[in-house]
Amino acid sequence: MTSHVSGARSGATVRSSERAGLGSGWVVFAGVMMIFGGLMTLFAGIAAIAGDDLFVATRNYVFEFDLTGWGWIHLVMGVVITLAGAALFQGATWARVVGVGLAGLAMLANFLWIPYAPFWAFVLIAINAIVICALCTAPSPSER
């Protein structure tokens, strides 16, 4: 009888450790995706700054901005997103909050970037949506 009770307790321990692993797995996944998305954003910014002839913009787009300006915005945003993604590996709670905010801003910036690079803009919007989902569903360190 004693072994049955200890077995039930070890089962509960396994389930709680599985939950903790799932939470840390989501944070690691979000960190990897943030680094990947940040580097893609950074390279898009470099490409926009390096040559205005590389991108073809749709005419009469409502949110039309200077391509070089967008390049600098993407360059800075890519660096910050990459650094915040790397901070997630340190287990910093502030990095989760900043990550959600940056992913939201990146989604908005990529929505405005659609006329210049539609495919990559949609890819980055999807990546940032997944990052937000992963960071919001992962349990906090106190729940682990």
Does 129 score more than 90 pLDDT?
A: yes
Question: Which sequence spans correspond to the domains of the chain?
Answer: 23-137
Q: Are 112 and 73 in contact (CB under 8 A)?
A: no
Q: What is the mean pLDDT of residues 96-106?
A: 93
Categorize the per-residue pLDDT at 21 as very low, low, confident or very high, splitting at 50, 70 and 90: very low
Tens digit of pLDDT for each residue in 40-99? 999 988 988 887 666 666 666 666 677 788 889 999 999 999 999 999 888 888 888 999
Categorize the per-residue pLDDT at 22 as very low, low, confident or very high, splitting at 50, 70 and 90: very low
